[in-house]
Amino acid sequence: MCGISGIYAFDEQGKHWHSSLQQATDAIQSRGPDAQACFFDQHVGLGHRRLSILDTSPAGNQPMTDPSGRYTLIFNGEIYNYRELKPQLDALGVPFRSTTDTEVILQLYIHKGVAFLDELNGFFTIAIYDKVEGSLLIARDRMGIKPLVFHQDEHSLVFASELKALLAFPFIKRELDYEALYQYLQFNYISAPATIFRGIHKLMPGHYMMLKGKEVEMKQYYQVPYDESAARQQSMTYEQQQAHLLELLDDSVQKRLVSDVPLGAFLSGGIDSSTIVALASRHTQQLNTFSIGFRDQAYFDETHYAEMVAKQYKTNHTSFSLTNDELYGTFHEVLDYLDEPFADSSALLVHILSKRTREHVTVALSGDGADELFAGYHKYYGELRARQQGIKAGAVKLMAPVWQALPKSRNSKIGNKVRQLHRFAEGASLSEKERYWRWCAFIGEEEAAEMLVGMDGLDQKRYQARKAEVLRHLHPGGSMNEFLYTDVHNVLTNDMLTKVDLMSMANSLEVRVPFLDHRIVEFAFNLPISSKINGQMKKRVLQDAVRPLLPTDLYNRPKRGFEVPLLQWFQTELKSVITDDLLADERIADQGIFDPAYVRGLKEKLFSRDPGEVHAQVWGLIVFQHWWKRVMEGN
């Protein structure tokens, strides 16, 4: 696990900026605190920060050049099947100077070209320079687990693991992308390939770029295969599906245990993380496991479920008991790390869990991805019922004005139920595409437009094109698998994986995700939707497959998603930050981005007796304003 940065100059003016590469590499120090170096040759510069996981000796340091001196590689990630790939290179007489996956990747490219990408099982961003051809390959893993951003102009192409590294190049303009901002106000994150900056893009999952001379070719080398007709005609029985899924999961977990440094696993006590721990315990002695509890909010503290699993599998378990004050203490650390606005408040939890876990291990396994692949979220029940259009769904839609009028809140059982009914009634009358978009959002497009001062900076054609790209897999009357497929490519990549990557890397912790082994993803989309969800059960095939492995109590537990106490903070510790600084009337007016009257209305509701759900919007604005002040104003 590492951080990478680089520049490919198209002309002499582009070469002038090679001197900025060291600063760019230093900007991502937390991604690789163990070693750092830069490589320069003619029009190419490559920078690397290393977090040593495999072969921790200097032989594994990067940039890595082959013995001939022709090829040089920088690499961020892990390749789990590198030991299986190495024998084919041994048979060719390839000499190895290390026991890293990095050297295997380099030699595979030398002998197979870009086709080597198809053989990799892992997560990565890779850049490989060919000195003789003057070419540079830049590639991202199939599922987009590892990030890569880039900027191209007439003089050069620069790229890095994070935006903060790109911003070290002085010629890159910090120009706000209003279409990205418009989406951010709705979703609280920005979907690839856009970033918050005009002219800076994210390389899409399963894509590579080949640079040579002044030519830049971008290609997709992988797309999750999905054929609904094949899924409906799945030849396996339901029992065979369970057995095959368990077999794939077991192999995926075993592959992700390869490490030359201490390794552990997150353990929340839910089905997904517990499955990972149960399988990992088959292949390692005394697995380290970590969970987080909430001392001040006992209702949400579910560490006892995690402890059940830890006890059953005799893991070396650590529970971190967290107070609201300790959670609030991460506020500035998280916001100071963000390169672009990202307002998933659970990032605070991931940050503190990663920070505490890093005190014990360097690598942690997680259960991310299972909900999107196998239909684990409540919204999938909503989508199923909206498609079935039964009597209950019709009644909820008819009562839309009632749900609109009643108070809504995630902080009470009744208020949360009203919130869910209102969202369902709102979405059930929409088309599949518009319903998906609305259910991803905290607020609708019209309300987001009201937040902005005019819409002069917004190109509606560009915004609609980006929206269409996110929704391209949804079709009228299509299967609910299309809904999951869209979530995998949108919410999973742009929210969940982004959150885990940013917060773990801020703490120099590598997090591995066994559920996102491409073989499991492909199998999931070769299953009929009935194997995943019906009117009574979500994640059917996964839950049934692992039932013999887990404590019975895990199947009877109520699902209680922990809510970061934002409203409490806004009305206490952060009140002056809101009223006198980030959302102060004068600052909003001088900034000229948001409508002062609209923001004033948000503050009035926030501090009223019935704040409802307004804190999610306020959080999105606070994150943006903090980012703007730090990155755009340099304060």
**CATH code, domain with 527:** 3.40.50.620
633 shares its domain with 541: no
Two tokens, residue 179: 């279409």
Same domain, 93 and 23: yes
Does one domain contain both 603 and 552?
A: no
In this predicted structure, the answer to whether residue 83 has a pLDDT above a threshold of 90 is: yes
Domain stops at, among 220, 254, 287: 220
The distance between the two most distant Cα atoms of the chain, rounded to a whole number of Å, is 74
Band of residue 228 on the pLDDT scale cut at 50, 70, 90: confident
Residue 437, domain member (yes or no): no
- The CA radius of gyration of the chain, in Å to the nearest whole number, is 24
CA distance 539 to 259: 30
The one-letter amino acid at 483: F
Are residues 368 and 290 part of one domain? yes
User: Token pair 């437009």 is at which residue?
Assistant: 449
Tell me what pLDDT residue 415 has: 55
Domain count across the chain: 3
Residue 71 clears pLDDT 90, i.e. is over it: yes
The mean pLDDT value for 574-591 works out to 94
pLDDT band at 403 (very low <50, low <70, confident <90, very high): very low
Domain-located, residue 399? no
- For the segment 83-102, the average pLDDT, to the nearest whole number, is 94
The pLDDT value given to residue 227: 84
pLDDT at 562: 64
Question: For residues 212-235, b (16+ Cβ closer than 10 Å) or e, as one string?
Answer: eeeebeeeeebebebebeebeeee
Instruction: Answer whether residue 390 is part of any domain.
Output: no
| Per-residue pLDDT tens over the stretch 596-607 | 999 999 999 999
Same domain, 539 and 590: no
> For 404-426, what is the mean pLDDT?
57
Q: How confident is the model at residue 151 (pLDDT cuts 50, 70, 90)?
A: very high
What secondary structure letter does DSSP report for 369?
Answer: T
Same domain as 193, residue 61: yes
Domain annotation covers residue 392: no
pLDDT digits (tens, 9 = 90+) for 342-395: 999 999 999 999 999 999 999 999 999 999 999 999 899 889 988 877 545 555
Residue 609, in any domain of the structure: yes
Please check whether residues 188 and 48 belong to one and the same domain. yes
Q: What sign for the dihedral angle of Cα 409, 537, 143, 26?
A: positive
CB-facing half-sphere around the CA of 524: CA atoms within 13 A: 28
Q: What confidence tier does 477 reach under pLDDT thresholds 50, 70, 90?
A: confident
Q: Are residues 81 and 192 in the same domain?
A: yes
Alpha-carbon distances, residue 395 vs 379, 386, 392, 407, 427 (angstroms) = 18, 12, 5, 19, 14
Q: Does any domain span residue 269?
A: yes
Q: Give tens-digit pLDDT for 51-67.
A: 888 878 888 899 999 99
d(CA 543, CA 13): 58
Same-domain check for residues 624 and 546: no
Which pLDDT band, with edges at 50, 70 and 90, does 15 fall under? confident
Nearest to 497 by CA among 208, 209, 216, 191: 191
Task: Name the least confident of 338-342, 421-425, 516-520.
Answer: 421-425
Question: Which three-class secondary structure state does DSSP give residue 102?
Answer: helix
* Mean residue pLDDT across the chain: 91
* Six token digits for residue 120: 């990799």
119 shares its domain with 253 = no
Q: Which two tokens stand for residue 593?
A: 């981005």
Extract the runs of DSSP E, i.e. beta strands, from 149-206. 149-152, 156-160, 200-202
Residue 579's alpha-carbon distances to 488, 582, 629, in angstroms, are: 38, 7, 16
Question: What number of CA atoms fall less than 13 Å from residue 6's CA on the CB side?
Answer: 29
The C-alpha atoms of residue 483 and residue 139 are separated, in whole angstroms, by: 27
Q: Decide the pairing of beta strands 263-266 and 363-365.
A: parallel
The structure tokens listed for 418 are: 């009203």
pLDDT at 404: 52
Structural domain including 34 reads: 2-220
Is residue 417 scored above 70 in pLDDT? no
| 85 and 127 co-located in one domain | yes
> Which CATH number fits the domain that encloses residue 199?
3.60.20.10
Domain assignment of residue 407, yes or no: no
For residue 411, the model assigns a pLDDT of: 54
CB 199 within 8 A of CB 496: no
Higher pLDDT, 611 or 501: 501
- Which of 533, 556, 579 marks a domain boundary? 556
CA atoms within 13 A on the CB side of 154: 0
Q: Final residue of a domain: which of 199, 220, 241?
A: 220
Give the model's pLDDT for residue 412: 55
Whether 457 is covered by a domain: the verdict is: no
- Collapsing DSSP to helix, strand or coil, 450 comes out as helix
| Confidence (pLDDT) at 413 | 58
- CA 328, distance to chain mean position in Å, is 22
Query: How many Cβ atoms are within 10 Å of 472's Cβ, its own excluded?
Result: 11
How much of the chain exceeds pLDDT 70, in percent?
92
- Assess contact for 354 and 511: CB atoms under 8 A: yes
Helix, strand, coil abundance in the chain, percent, nearest 5: 50, 15, 35
Quick: pLDDT tens for 486-540: 999 999 999 999 999 999 999 999 999 999 999 999 999 999 999 999 988 999 9
Q: Do 239 and 204 share a domain, yes or no?
A: no
Give tens-digit pLDDT for 298-330.
Answer: 667 778 899 999 999 999 999 998 888 888 889
